[in-house]
Amino acid sequence: MSKSEPVTRRTILKGIVAGAGVAAANAFMPRCFAASAPTKVKLGLMLPYTGTYAALGKNIDDALRLAISERGGKLGGREVEYVVVDDESEPAKGAENANKLVSRDKVDFLIGTVHSGVAMAMVKVATDNDTILVIPNAGAAAATGAACAPNIFRTSFTNWQPGFAMGKVMAGRGLKRAVSVSWDYAAGHESMGGFKEGFATGGGSVEKELALAFPQVEFQAILTEIAATKPELVYTFFAGAGAVKFVKDYAAAGLKNSAPLVGAGFLTDGTLQAQGDAAQGIETTLHYADGLNVPKDKTFRAAFKKATNRDADVYAVQGYDAGQLLAVGLDAVKGDTSARKEMIAAMEKAEIDSPRGRFTLSKAHNPVQDMYLRKVAGLENKFVSVAVKALADPARGCKLV
């Protein structure tokens, strides 16, 4: 019996029945139980630790480990082993990296990632191998849409959700003419699409959708075009280092007063220190905010600060909740990963006590959650109001819905 054979009730029983003595039992039982301690649960973390999204990946990783360390370092009674891969936010390497984790390292779960393009490569590998995947950030629609599957879960959002919420807020203010700006990949287009849909509910129209290749940050041509178009507002999806640069360049171009900059909350989450004055007053929509007055948020922020000496942000929250969701699944089956049906059923039914506020998962396995309107003041994305209550992604094309 190989070391990597899954621990199942059947294999445990087999060992007990077959063996009169300890030595005989050991010959039949998985090695993990022979010394009376079960093998570790292997988590394959595929996240960006370098590049534009490095800070996002680091916060997800640290907060996931925090959630597990709060449970004594165990899930379902089993110790946890981490196998870590830097995906560099590079879609071309996504399948190879995920395959290594599944086939070479034999991880029990895949956790990742930040970039939608890389996440979709992980979805394919997870689907092909029937490995449970928990996505702690990437908002690619297809992961819980056309490519949804019983083994694919997400603890973050779809790109549509914050975009749609901001569109509704701006439409509610009677604004009619917008320009959208983003990177030219799934996350950017889906975020701009969500905004367009929400904005249209009040008769607003997006006159131009401008995009540049990920992860470029040469914004001059785009800023010139915005100035020439003279929209009433500019909606954006940028995150990480790109968000820092865009917000600074936008302010430096003198556009902040003529065309207010709004966005999906990634524009100003985890970035405010670096953005400084340029970010003040920017409004965004997201499933997390400062000043939520959620008891779990207070304890989480204190614990994250203590563990990392950094302030928590939305990425940390999503990583923490990935750990919480895994705990629900593994605790339900007492660590027996072969009891997949029960484990998946428990995860589907989970109500996560998140720092963002409690949430449940849709049939497509994406959070149904409040979208908050926030406004930057000092170093905070201050809660303003609930922009859309319990917003579910439409999960277009998902056969589980």
Residues that bind ligand BEZ (CB under 6 A): 53, 114-116, 137-140, 159, 187, 239, 266
How many Cβ atoms sit within 10 Å of the Cβ of residue 57? Answer: 30
Q: Which of 37, 26, 29 is nearest to 10 (CA)?
A: 29
Tell me the C-alpha distance between 155 and 339, whole Å. Answer: 22
Task: Give least dist CB 222 to ligand BEZ, A.
Answer: 19
Query: Which residue lies nearer to ligand BEZ by CB, 39 or 161?
Result: 161
Q: Smallest distance, Å, CB 137 to ligand BEZ? A: 6
Q: Closest residue (Cβ) to ligand BEZ?
A: 187
Cβ atoms 240, 348 nearer than 8 A: no
| Total Cβ atoms within 10 A of residue 2 | 7
What are φ and ψ of residue 304, in 5° steps?
Answer: -65, -40
Q: How far is the CB of 140 from ligand BEZ (least distance, A)?
A: 6
Judge residue 310's burial from the number of C-beta atoms within 10 Å of its C-beta, 0-12 exposed, 13-18 middle, 19 or more buried. Answer: middle
| 3-class secondary-structure state, position 315 | helix
> Which contiguous run of DSSP H or E holds residue 307?
helix 295-308
Query: Whole-number minimum distance, CB 183 to ligand BEZ, in Å?
Result: 8
Nearer residue to ligand BEZ within complex by CB, 67 or 186: 186
* Of residues 152 and 328, the one with the C-beta less far from ligand BEZ: 152
Compute the least distance from the CB of residue 98 to ligand BEZ, in Å: 16
Closer residue to ligand BEZ (CB): 30 or 51? 51
Query: β-strands 109-111, 78-86: how paired?
Result: unpaired
Measured from the CB atom, is 239 or 316 closer to ligand BEZ?
A: 239
> Measured from the CB atom, is 115 or 287 closer to ligand BEZ?
115
* C-alpha to C-alpha distance for 209 and 328, rounded to whole angstroms: 41
In the complex, the smallest distance separating the C-beta of residue 290 from ligand BEZ, rounded to whole angstroms, is 18
